[in-house]
Amino acid sequence: MRRFIAHLTQLVAGIFFLRICFRLGFRVRVRRAGPRPEGAVLYAANHRSFVDPPLAACWSAEPVAFFARASLWKIPPIRLLLDIFNGIPVDRENPGMSSMKGAIERLKAGIPVLIFPEGTRTRTGRLGSLRDGPALFARRAGVPLVPVYLHRSEGCWPRGWPLPMFSGPRIEVRYGRPIVPPADLEPRARDAWVMARLEAWMHRQEADLNRRRPSARSGRG
């Protein structure tokens, strides 16, 4: 029990600290298309920077688990952050099975999970091709998928920089409404239905944000 309380205290303090850093240091603006979901959901976000996992996860109503290379647990400061957020280690020898097992286990235990369908950080700033893993994970765990779009997060931690920067452009995090497929579709058809709507939502956010001036007021996605 003491260990659990200590971990919970560490988790709450870590999330609170990150929110302050993002709000003040990176001028993060958060927008939601609907009420903040509670319980086990699968968050699917675009990927621009190393800072994306905590940036997308710390605004959730509950602590969110996300994937990371198993080798990162060897670095003490990063290991602490990964443990705080229930990090899911991905085995480079068998990434597909290790990530699927870890995600579904946590979702079925009631822990929200964050996934990046592009699989890697964008090099162009534009949304890349999406893999169909998120729909599969959500279906097998029996949870809704919530889309997330991160805008200008590469300004926090550009490629090639050893540490985050606090002088980049204003960042915006957008959360969409949960995507739940019709129950009468076949499993693969349900996955295709979910991914088509996830990709369409991502492209709408990208087009909307890219045509706005940095000083323009952002609306809800």
18-63 pLDDT, tens digit each: 777 777 777 889 999 988 888 899 999 999 988 898 889 888 888 8
pLDDT at 155: 78
pLDDT at 108: 92
pLDDT at 220: 44
Residues 202/149, Cβ–Cβ less than 8 Å: yes
Q: Is position 103 within any domain?
A: yes
For residue 8, what is the domain's CATH number?
Answer: 3.40.1130.10
In this structure, which amino acid lies at residue 79? R
Q: What pTM did the predictor assign? A: 0.81
Q: Is position 37 within any domain?
A: yes
Q: Is position 75 within any domain?
A: yes
pLDDT at 86: 75
When divided into structural domains, the chain yields a total of 1
Q: Is position 218 within any domain?
A: no
pLDDT at 166: 67
Q: Is position 64 within any domain?
A: yes
Residues of the domain holding 124 = 2-210
Q: Is position 39 within any domain?
A: yes
User: Can you give the three-state secondary structure of 155-182, one letter per residue?
Assistant: HCCCCCCCCCCCCCCCCEEEECCCECCC
Q: Is position 217 within any domain?
A: no
Q: ∠ CA(129), CA(51), CA(23), 5° rounding? A: 120
Q: Is position 221 within any domain?
A: no
Other CB atoms within a 10 A radius of the CB of residue 2 amount to 6
Residues 19/93, Cβ–Cβ less than 8 Å: no
Rounded to whole angstroms, the Cα distance separating 20 from 28 reads 10
Residues of the chain with pLDDT under 70: 1-17, 85, 94-98, 158, 162-168, 213-221
Closest CA to 159 of 58, 51, 59, 74: 51
pLDDT at 6: 45
